[in-house]
């Protein structure tokens, strides 16, 4: 299974190159990945549906409990079928949807990468691995939403989606870690087989996991990003933002619900949020003019329905949820693909302008109609069958609030029928009163263009008519979540009873609501809302940026004096407190070991004092250099050639570099007139000096454990292979530290270059080689 994920990655990586040679045929190239996945899944389908999952494990970071564990069970098989099957259809659809544009390779790359990430997500059998793929889908979704990166709206929507799902993902990670620690294993199947259900930790963990699921599946109040995501090209909307990625949250709820439904607030939270989302999404869909937005809010609504079904966690509702999951993926992907066809042919998605398109494009209308009937829950389509099972599940559900949940779901279904009718009317019906109508003369789409949607709509029909066939998939899939859920059956004719009555009520109510669409729209407009989920997101985003700017303004005032003072004072306070509490003087303080040392030491002192007293910058730098050379001489006297050599070289190079900077500064230091400030600087400087002196004197006496020096010296040659102990320490004993240091050096070098470029007036920090910005300020351009 890891191989299939890698195949996606490999094809994604090569897509841009391939598209440069073959253009649109790149979609055939990347379609190999989902095709291979489907073939592979097909060969294992028999065993998996029989209840024998395929397992594959490889170690990754065993210390963290992170392993590359994949597991294909019957529920996973359903998800793989949806992820790879719809991917295949979308890849078949893309060449007709897109005109010839140069960036299709990039698009194919993102879409394939997403497909691989989603595949990994539904196959992962390790909590942390699941999280890795979860985040990968967020990132690829970000890239796809922002694909038209010249449009500001696309970039903003992409960022919004990334921030919301990313924040939820972090909450989920915390929840998964808590659950993993409580369970003692990070294996998903092991956790679900023997879930930790006791204690406040697990109760909080499930809330965190639900937060992740809610953000990913666009549940209220985190739904604002999904309508924005419609900025992506329509194949992306069909694939990610209706059929697959947004199902990741639903998938997580479905997996965890049988084990955790009774823990803490799981059931009331999941079902409550699910029903609220179903109602809110349906309500909002009734006002949209853009067909994609009608479907987007419809998707939010349906996702709420699915979260409510799975979130309850009873066997009947898990069964119904599985059926609904399949039904929704089929009809919603088909509807988006139909919208893509309409948009491509008519160049508009405004339902007030599309006029009599059904008469002009009867095949498209039939395909869209079949999918829409499934969405509205009309027999004999799969959507009806699944929704009936859901009603039955809520009617039979035991526990507090089941009748409220049933009521909410029925009301939600009323709204679903209403916005479905709005969608069909808006897309295909004649609208004699339309301003600037489009429709009667649009060109016919090619058969290839409509075929993918037709396949999906056809499956919606077959799945509803041949319930035995559907049962053969849904039963083991639901059973993989929770064994008793495999007992139930789908019914095309449920018999006269409450469930059928509720379906009839939903259809009748929905049609009534549709008939009253103008008053409903007016009423929605009349209800003033001070804020929306979208506006809350944007104002809190702006507030965070404002706050960050303010904090930066305080902690980064840009004054070297303040930085140095803060560093020096905090350096002084921390060790000084320890020193004062626990002073130990060494037994024998030696002033100097030889007269030579004494002389050099005195010279260093004189140079140091001169550095402080001089008013000339140049002189200050030179005397500072003298201090450094003096210290290097002391190293020589002590027999440390490496240190001395390094010190000499550093002093030499730094001296020249210092002088380069000095050219840009006034010759003399500015005279400080503020005596108080000057005095405080003197105090800080003297305190630092005194502390360093005190540390040097006392630190030798403060040793409590044996020095490691002799051991390093002894092991340097046999293990490090070098006679120069200093070098062995640098390159072997603490090689990782040295690597960190050269990274700092490299960053400092790049920072210097960038700062100097940015500060030079008249040039821009372009990142180009310096030749590109050699114009000298104030002088005419000399390049010929």
Partner 1 sequence: MSAAGRPFGGERSVILDEVVRLVFHTVLVLAVYLLFAGHNQPGGGFIGGLVAGAALVLRYVAAGQRDADIRGGHEVLLGVGLLVAGGTGVAALLAGDQLFESWTFSEEIPVIGTVKFTAALPFDIGVFLVIVGLVVAVLDSLGREADPDAVDLVELDGVDEVGRGSAR
Rounded Cα gap, residues 728 and 735, in angstroms: 9
Residue 467, H or E segment: helix 467-481
d(CA 633, CA 627): 10
- The C-alpha atoms of residue 721 and residue 739 are separated, in whole angstroms, by 19
149 part of the interface to partner 1, by CB under 8 A: no
H or E segment to which residue 115 belongs: helix 104-123
**Contact stretch for partner 1 (CB under 8 A) within 68-76, 127-135, 489-497, 775-783:** 775-783
Query: In a 10 Å sphere around its CB, with 0-12 CB exposed, 13-18 middle and 19+ buried, how is residue 418 labelled?
Result: buried
Q: Residue 562 interacts with partner 1 (CB under 8 A)?
A: no
Selected from 642, 672, 703, 714, the binder of partner 1 by CB under 8 A is: 642
- 776 binds partner 1 per the rule CB under 8 A: yes
In this complex, which beta carbon is closest to partner 1, that of residue 562 or of residue 743? 743
Please select the residue that binds partner 1; options are 102, 530, 581, 778, rule is CB under 8 A.
778
Q: Burial level of 81, CB count in 10 A (0-12/13-18/19+)?
A: buried
Nearest to 142 by CA among 123, 162, 124: 162
The span of 337-345, 479-487, 553-561, 663-671 binding partner 1 (CB under 8 A) equals: 663-671
User: Shortest distance, CB of residue 757 to partner 1, whole angstroms?
Assistant: 7
Contact 441, 359 (CB under 8 A): no
- 81 contacts 38 by C-beta, under 8 angstroms: yes
The distance of closest approach from Cβ of residue 628 to partner 1 in the complex, given in angstroms and rounded to an integer, is 13
Q: Which residues pair with 126 in a beta bridge?
A: 187
Beta carbon nearer to partner 1, 682 or 759:
759
- In the bound state with partner 1, the residue whose beta carbon lies nearer, of 495 and 721, is 721
Total binding residues toward partner 1, as defined by CB under 8 A: 58
| Contacting range for partner 1; rule: CB under 8 A; set: 94-102, 238-246, 676-684, 726-734 | 726-734
Least distance between partner 1 and beta carbon 122 (Å)? 31
Q: What minimum distance in Å lies between the beta carbon of 365 and partner 1?
A: 58
**Roughly what angle, to the nearest 10 degrees, separates helices 291-312 and 266-285?**
160
Residue 656 binding partner 1, by CB under 8 A: yes
Asked if 639 touches partner 1 (CB under 8 A), the answer is: no
Exactly one of 23, 399, 601, 722 binds partner 1 (CB under 8 A); which one?
722
Task: Candidates 407, 519, 547, 770: give the one binding partner 1 (CB under 8 A).
Answer: 770
In angstroms, rounded to a whole number, what is the distance separating the alpha carbons of residues 91 and 86?
8
Q: How far is the CB of 229 from partner 1 (least distance, A)?
A: 37
Contact present, 620 and 661 (Cβ < 8 Å): no
User: Closest distance between partner 1 and the C-beta of residue 655, in Å?
Assistant: 9
Locate 20 and state its tokens: 């440069």
**723 touches partner 1 by CB under 8 A:** yes
Using CB under 8 A as the binding rule, whether residue 724 contacts partner 1 is answered as yes
Residue 484 or residue 722: which is nearer to partner 1 going by CB? 722
775 part of the interface to partner 1, by CB under 8 A:
no
* Prior bond of 221 cis (ω within 30°): yes
Backbone angles phi and psi of 61, in degrees to 5: -125, 85
Q: Which is nearer to partner 1, 103 or 732 (CB)?
A: 732
Name which of 396, 370, 392 is nearest 381 in CA terms.
370
In whole angstroms, how close is the CB of 751 to partner 1 at the nearest point?
Answer: 9
* List 566, 602, 700, 735, residue binding partner 1 (CB under 8 A): 735
The token pair at 141 is 């979704």
C-alpha to C-alpha distance for 432 and 356, rounded to whole angstroms? 9
- For partner 1, which residue of 581, 591, 736, 766 counts as binding (CB under 8 A)? 736
- Binding flag, residue 483, partner 1 (CB under 8 A): no
Instruction: Give the residue, chosen from 667, 678, 699, 713, that forms a contact with partner 1 under the rule CB under 8 A.
Output: 667
Round to whole Å and give the CA distance between 503 and 283. 19
Helix axis angle for 247-260 and 104-123, nearest 10°, is 10
Is residue 728 close enough to count as binding partner 1 by CB under 8 A?
Answer: yes
For residue 427, give the 3-state DSSP assignment.
helix
Q: Does 756 bind partner 1 (CB under 8 A)?
A: yes
Residues 210-239 touching partner 1, rule: CB under 8 A, are none
3-state SS string over 636-697?
A: HHHCCHHHHHHHHHHHHHHHHHHHHHHCCCCCECCCCCCHHHHHHHHHHHHHHHHHHHHHHH
757 binds partner 1 (CB under 8 A): yes
- Cα 225 from Cα 238, distance rounded (Å): 16
In the structure encoding, which two tokens stand for residue 90, read together? 């979308």
Residue 719 binds partner 1, judged by CB under 8 A? yes
Binding to partner 1 in span 603-632, by CB under 8 A? 617-618
Q: Which of 661, 677, 683, 686 binds partner 1 (CB under 8 A)?
A: 661
What DSSP assignment string belongs to 226-247?
HHHGGGS-HHHHHIIIIISTTH
Out of 570, 587, 742, 766, which residue is the one contacting partner 1 (CB under 8 A)? 742
Q: Give the whole-angstrom CA distance, residue 667 versus residue 399.
A: 84
Among 561, 649, 686, 701, binds partner 1 (CB under 8 A): 649
| Residue 9 vs 640, nearer CB to partner 1 | 640
Nearer to partner 1, 60 or 204 (CB): 60
Q: Residue 747 and residue 334: Cα distance in Å, rounded?
A: 51
CA dist., res. 365 & res. 354, Å (int): 13
Binding region for partner 1 (CB under 8 A): 617-618, 641-642, 645-646, 649-650, 652-653, 656-657, 659-667, 719-724, 726-728, 730-732, 735-736, 738-739, 742-743, 745-746, 748-750, 752-753, 756-757, 769-771, 776-780, 782-783
């Amino acid at each position: 299974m890891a191989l299939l994920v890698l195949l996606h990655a490999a094809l994604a990586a090569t897509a841009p190159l391939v598209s440069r040679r073959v253009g649109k045929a790149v979609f055939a190239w990347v379609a190999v990945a989902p095709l291979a996945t489907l073939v592979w899944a097909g060969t294992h389908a028999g065993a998996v549906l029989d209840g024998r999952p395929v397992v594959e494990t490889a170690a990754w970071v065993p210390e963290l409990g992170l392993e590359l564990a994949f597991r294909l069970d019957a529920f996973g098989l359903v998800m793989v079928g949806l992820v790879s099957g719809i991917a295949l259809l979308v890849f078949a659809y893309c060449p007709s949807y897109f005109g010839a544009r140069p960036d299709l390779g990039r698009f194919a790359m993102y879409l394939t990468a997403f497909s691989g990430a989603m595949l990994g997500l539904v196959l992962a059998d390790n909590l942390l691995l699941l999280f890795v793929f979860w985040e990968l889908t967020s990132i690829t979704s970000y890239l796809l939403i922002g694909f038209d990166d010249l449009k500001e709206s696309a970039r903003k929507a992409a960022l919004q989606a990334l921030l919301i799902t990313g924040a939820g993902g972090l909450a989920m990670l915390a929840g998964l870690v808590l659950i993993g620690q409580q369970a003692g294993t990070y294996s998903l199947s092991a956790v679900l087989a023997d879930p930790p259900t006791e204690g406040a930790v697990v109760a909080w963990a499930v809330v965190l996991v639900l937060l992740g699921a809610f953000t990913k599946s666009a549940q209220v109040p985190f739904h604002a990003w999904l309508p924005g995501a419609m900025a992506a090209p329509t194949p992306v909307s069909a694939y990610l933002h209706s059929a697959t990625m947004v199902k990741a949250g639903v998938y997580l709820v479905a997996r965890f619900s049988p084990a955790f439904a009774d823990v803490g607030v799981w059931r009331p939270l999941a079902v409550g949020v699910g029903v609220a989302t179903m109602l809110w999404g349906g309500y909002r869909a009734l006002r949209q003019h853009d067909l994609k937005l009608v479907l987007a809010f419809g998707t939010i609504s349906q996702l709420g329905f699915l979260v409510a079904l799975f979130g309850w966690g009873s066997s009947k509702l898990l069964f119904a949820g599985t059926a609904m999951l399949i039904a929704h993926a089929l009809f919603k992907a088909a509807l988006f693909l139909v919208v893509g066809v309409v948009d491509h042919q008519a160049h508009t998605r405004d339902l007030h302008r599309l006029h009599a398109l059904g008469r002009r494009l009867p095949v498209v209308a039939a395909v869209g109609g079949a999918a829409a009937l499934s969405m509205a829950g009309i027999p004999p389509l799969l959507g009806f069958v699944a929704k009936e099972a859901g009603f039955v599940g809520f009617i039979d559900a035991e526990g507090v609030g089941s009748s409220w949940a049933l009521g909410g779901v029925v009301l939600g279904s009323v709204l679903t029928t209403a916005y479905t009718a709005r969608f069909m009317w808006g897309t295909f019906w004649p609208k004699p009163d339309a301003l600037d109508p489009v429709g009667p003369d649009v060109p016919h789409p090619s058969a290839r263009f409509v075929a993918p949607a037709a396949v999906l709509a056809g499956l919606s029909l077959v799945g509803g008519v041949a319930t035995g066939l559907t049962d053969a998939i849904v039963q083991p899939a639901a059973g993989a979540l929770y064994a008793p859920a495999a007992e139930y059956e789908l019914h095309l004719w449920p018999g006269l009873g409450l469930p059928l009555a509720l379906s009839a009520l939903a259809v009748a109510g929905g049609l009534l609501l549709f008939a009253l669409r103008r008053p409903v729209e007016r009423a929605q407009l009349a209800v003033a809302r001070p804020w929306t989920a979208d506006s809350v997101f944007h104002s809190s985003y702006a507030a965070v940026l404002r706050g960050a700017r303010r904090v930066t303004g305080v902690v980064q005032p840009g004054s070297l004096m303040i930085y140095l003072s803060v560093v020096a004072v905090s350096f002084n306070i921390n060790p000084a407190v320890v020193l004062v509490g626990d002073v130990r003087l060494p037994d024998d303080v030696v002033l100097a070991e030889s007269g030579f040392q004494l002389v050099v030491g005195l010279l260093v002192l004189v140079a140091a004092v001169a550095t402080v007293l001089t008013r000339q910058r140049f002189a200050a730098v030179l005397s500072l250099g003298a201090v450094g050379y003096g210290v290097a001489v002391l190293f020589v006297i002590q027999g440390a050639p490496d240190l001395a050599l390094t010190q000499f070289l550093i002093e030499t190079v730094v001296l020249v570099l210092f002088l380069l900077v000095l050219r840009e500064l006034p010759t003399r230091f500015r005279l400080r007139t503020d005596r108080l400030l000057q005095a405080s600087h003197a105090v800080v400087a003297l305190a630092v000096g005194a502390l360093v002196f005190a540390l040097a004197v006392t630190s030798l006496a403060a040793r409590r454990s044996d020095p490691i020096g002799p051991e390093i010296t002894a092991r340097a040659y046999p293990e490090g292979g070098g006679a120069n102990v200093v070098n062995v320490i640098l390159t072997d004993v603490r090689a990782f530290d040295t690597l960190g240091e050269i990274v700092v050096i490299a960053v400092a070098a790049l920072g210097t270059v960038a700062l100097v470029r940015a500060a030079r007036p008249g040039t821009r920090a372009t990142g180009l080689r310096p030749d590109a910005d050699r114009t000298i300020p104030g002088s005419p351009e000399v390049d010929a």
